[in-house]
Structure 1
Amino acid sequence: MSGYEKGRIRRDDLVSAAAKVYGEAGYHASSLREIAKRAGITHAGLLYHFPTKEALLAAVLERRDAEDSAREQLSAPPGLEVLRRFIALAEHNVRHRGIVDLYSRLAAEAISEDHPAHAYFARHYREAREAIAESFRALAKTGELRPGVNPDLAALTFIALMDGLQVQWLTTPTQVDVVASLRLSLQTLLTVPLFP
């Protein structure tokens, strides 16, 4: 195995360890020493791969995007397919608790503008709202959105509902059906079946 390949594997191990630690304790309460310990590497070894805590956080968020396919939601033409993809994203998330743990904890911390993930979450929410609102607008033009539904407000409400349901699911997983609730909520806005 080449040195490059070993380095890549070590970086992957560090990002995995950091995601777990951040998901459990958050960014501010986590230490690089704890992350290094979880990954089975020295603190100096961690700093060789990630010279700052912010650099490691950026790698964790990049991994999160890749794992939950969030970017994929934005690539479909506006309409029902985008809404279906967000439902699929929620379904994926509840099968991978670590993603929801990490996202919920970091998103709550990132309310503060000085948090290193603030810009990431602001952009993430903006892009999601825009994709959903644009889909609702496209559906309104074809008569597939119920009359009187405001696309921008509906998009904002859907994102808030998705986040809220996932947080409730973290605390009482047997009492919250994230996917069924999201599907029902979206269906009430439509004049056609969301899923045929």
Structure 2
Amino acid sequence: MCARREVILEAALEVLADRGFKGTSIDAVAERAGLTRQGVLHYFPSKKRLLLEVLELRNRLARENLADRRVGEDWAGDFAEAVAFEQHHPSLARVHSVVMAEAVTGQEPARGYVRDRCRTLQDHLAEHLAARYGDRLPSGLDTRTGATALFALVEGIHQLWLADQDGDERYPEVVREVLSVLLGSDTGPPVCEDSAMPAVKG
């Protein structure tokens, strides 16, 4: 990736995490990046395009963090590591939380992005759980319910930590323990394609 483009994305990540999409301006990103407005627009012709690229950056960084793991052999550990990674990089967690909040209030492009992402991730989780375990998980939950519960667990953990970053430091371990109950001691299903959540690889 072009070095200047990377600088712009990193600046936009910080501004979006602080201000949200509505409160972010191209001028603010340019100032944070040490560039002119036209310098930013040369690489990102619209604020919407910039937001979507920042969210893809978040996914890419999450993928890279798991690159040294044999993802899928320890599914509970993979999700726990994903949660720990974002706790060490709060801007990544904050920008996701801000986008979720704007989606709840009906703001675009957050609403469309979050709706599609939530549906896609839950569908992929359910498909991979069904491929591995059949209709029921070792815990007794049906695979669709298990996928929704797992998705909600990770999303909720992020929100709890962001609201109180001096609170429970065991959140990654909480994720590991809950997944161990859901899935038993068996290894997890293979990786999917969204980087934000390792089992659906995000």
- TM superposition score category, shorter chain reference: 0.7 to 0.9
1 CA distance for matches of 2:138 and 2:115? 27
Q: Name stretches of at least 5 consecutive residues in structure 2 with no aligned partner.
A: 189-202
| Residue 40 (structure 1) shift | 0.6
Correspondence for 1:167: 159
1:105 to 77, 98, 102: 98
Q: Deviations over 1:20-74 (max 9, x none)?
A: 000011000111111111011112222222221112112212211111129x89x
Question: Rg bigger for which structure?
Answer: 1
**What is the number of equivalent residue pairs in this alignment?**
184
Q: Distance in 1 between matches of 2:61 and 2:82?
A: 10
Superposed displacement of residue 85, structure 1: 2.7
SS in 1 for 2:139: coil
- State the secondary structure of the residue aligned to 2:31: helix
Is the contact made by 1:82 and 1:132 (CA closer than 8 Å) also made in structure 2? Answer: no
Q: Does 1:9 align with 2:16?
A: no
Q: Which SS does the other structure have where 1:145 is aligned? A: coil
Q: What secondary structure is seen at the aligned counterpart in 2 of 1:162?
A: helix
**Which string of whole-angstrom CA distances, capped at 9 and with x for unpartnered residues, describes residues 107-166 of structure 1?**
22123555123333233222322333234334534986123x122112112211211111
For 1:171, give the aligned amino acid.
A
Residue 124 of structure 2 corresponds to residue 134 of structure 1: no
- The equivalent residue for 2:147 is 155
Asked if the contact 1:93/1:99 (under 8 Å) is kept, the reply is yes
- Structure 1, unmatched stretches of 5+, are none
Quote the residue 1:66 is aligned against. Answer: 60
**Residues 87 and 182 of structure 1 are in contact (CA less than 8 Å); yes or no, is this contact kept in structure 2?**
yes
Evaluate the alpha carbon distance shift between residue 29 and residue 133 of structure 1 in structure 2; reply closer, same or farther with a 3 A threshold.
Answer: same
Partners of 1:51 and 1:97 in 2: CA distance: 27
Contact 1:186 1:194 in 2 (8 A): no
Q: Which residue of 1 aligns with 2:47?
A: 53
Q: Compute the displacement of 1:93 (Å).
A: 1.5
Q: Separation in 1 of the partners of 2:122 and 2:85? A: 19
What is the CA–CA distance in structure 2 between the aligned matches of 1:81 and 1:138, rounded to whole Å? 16
- 1:73-116 superposed Cα distances (whole Å, 9 cap, x missing partner): 9xx99x76545433322222222111101111112212355512
Mapped contact 2:138–2:183 kept (Cα < 8 A): yes
- Partner residue of 2:197? none
Name the SS for the 1:188 alignment partner: helix
The answer on whether the counterparts of 1:69 and 1:89 sit within 8 Å (CA) in structure 2 is no
Tell me the equivalent position of 2:184: 191
- 1:120-131 to structure 2, matched below 5 A, reads 120-131=113-124
- TM-score, normalised on structure 2? 0.77
**Using a 3 Å threshold, how does the CA distance of structure 1 residues 113 and 142 change in structure 2: closer, same or farther?**
closer
CA RMSD of aligned residues (A): 3.0
